[in-house]
Structure 1
Amino acid sequence: MFVLVNLKAYPCDPVAVANAAATVADDTDARIAVAPQAAHLSAVAGTGVETWAQHVDGVEHGSHTGSTLAEAVADAGAVGTLINHSERRLRLADVDAGLRAAERAGLETVVCANNPRQVGAATALGPDAVAVEPPELIGTGTPVSQADPDVVEDAVAAAAAVDESVPVLCGAGISTGEDLAAARELGSEGVLLASGVAKADDPEAALRDLVSGV
């Protein structure tokens, strides 16, 4: 199971969370990655944890002030990037452009989608993985695997109908080992979470609980 921790713009210490993730990953052989703000990519990558960007733009080198260049993300130490998170929604053409930019820079990709129909469309664009995240459950602490397990199963089926090689991650409300186990039982090959770790008083304890069943 792949655990991808999105720090969003929460007021947490990204290096402290990254160190916790690196420690838990080393102790448990779990695959854990951290996605900080772009300004913190180098510092997080310096901890040795697998580091992801929260977003890249579908642009090349040039006059693109304010854009997040995939090559710059890779230079900062990231090995992958989220695309089309519910809080950073893109048009289909922009998702495709972001994927091509990430591919050009050698970044692994996870495209987020709200529902199984969008998962199918995202899978057709050729990402390394897709994540299903009903936006109404994000940050609620209520995991989609409990609130609406059919969404996860249908998302897995939708992705498989397009390309069986593209795994599905489960997001929205994930915070405990029980949540991760439920996501796995529904066919997910990983989880995407944020507040369950970024807002935890003890991120290392939160991560240990999360991967306890792996």
Structure 2
Amino acid sequence: MFVLVNLKAYPCDGPAVARAVREVSEESGVRMAVAPQAAQLETIHDTGAETWAQHVSPVEQGSHTGSTLAEAVADAGAVGTLINHSERRLRLADIDGALSAADRADLETVVCANNPAQVGAAAALAPDAVAVEPPELIGGDVSVSTADPGVVKDAVDAATAVDEDVSVFCGAGVSTGSDVAAAGELGAEGVLLASGVAKADDPEAVLWDLVSEI
């Protein structure tokens, strides 16, 4: 199971969260990573935590002011990137372009999708993983793995039908060890979460709870 903590643009202490992620990951043996704002990538990488980007742009080196260049993300210490998060939607052609950019920079990729049908379409582009995240549950207190477990199972089936090598992650509302366990039982190989950790008074305690049933 892979636990990927997206810090979004929350006013949290990113390095403190990253240090907690590193410590819990090392002690539990569970793979965990942090996705901070692009400007904090190097700072988070310096904590020793596995570091991911929240986004890379579908561009090559050149005249692309305001873009997030995959090579720059990798140089800052990121080993992977989210693509097409519900708060940073891309057209299908741009998802494909972002995947190509990530491949150039040797970044691992997770493409986010709203539903099983989109999971299948994303899997056809051959990312490393696809994350199913119904928008209405993002940032809430109810996990998709418990609110609508069929969505997770159908997402796994949709991805497998297209490419058995594409892993499926579960996002939206994940905040407890029970959520993570439920996701795993439904076939997910990872979880994405944000507010459950980034907004917590004690992020380390939340992280330990997340891995408690793995």
For the superposition of Structure 1 and Structure 2, which TM-score range results when normalised by the shorter chain?
Answer: over 0.9
Q: Once superposed, which parts of structure 1, at least 4 consecutive aligned residues long, lie more than 3 Å away? A: none
**In 1: Cα distance, 2:13 partner to 2:78 partner:** 18
* 1:58 lines up with 2:58 in the alignment: yes
Q: 1:202 maps to what in 2?
A: 202
Q: What does 1:1-214 align with in structure 2 at a 5 Å threshold?
A: 1-214=1-214
**In 2: Cα distance, 1:47 partner to 1:64 partner:** 30
| SS in structure 1 of the partner of residue 112 of structure 2 | strand
**In 2: Cα distance, 1:184 partner to 1:26 partner:** 20
Matching residue's letter, 1:4 = L
Matching residue's letter, 2:62 = G
Gaps of 5+ in 2: none
May I ask how many residue pairs the two structures share in their alignment?
A: 214
| SS in structure 2 of the partner of residue 168 of structure 1 | strand
| Residue 28 of structure 1: how far off its partner (Å) | 0.5
| Residue 198 of structure 1: how far off its partner (Å) | 0.5
**In 2: Cα distance, 1:145 partner to 1:106 partner:** 31
**In 2: Cα distance, 1:103 partner to 1:112 partner:** 17
| Residue 141 of structure 1: how far off its partner (Å) | 1.3
- Alignment identity in percent? 75
The CA RMSD over aligned residues, in Å, is 0.4
1:13-45 per-position Cα deviation (integer Å, ceiling 9, x unaligned): 110000000000111011000000000000000
Matching residue's letter, 1:188 = A
**In 2: Cα distance, 1:105 partner to 1:165 partner:** 20
1:173-210 per-position Cα deviation (integer Å, ceiling 9, x unaligned): 00000000000011101100000100010010000000
| Residue 98 of structure 1: how far off its partner (Å) | 0.1
| Residue 65 of structure 1: how far off its partner (Å) | 0.3
**In 2: Cα distance, 1:182 partner to 1:213 partner:** 9
| Residue 165 of structure 1: how far off its partner (Å) | 1.0
Matching residue's letter, 1:116 = P
**In 1: Cα distance, 2:20 partner to 2:175 partner:** 15
1:88-128 per-position Cα deviation (integer Å, ceiling 9, x unaligned): 00000000000000000000000000000000000000100
TM-score, structure 2 length as denominator?
0.99
Gaps of 5+ in 1: none
| Residue 146 of structure 1: how far off its partner (Å) | 1.0
Matching residue's letter, 1:169 = F
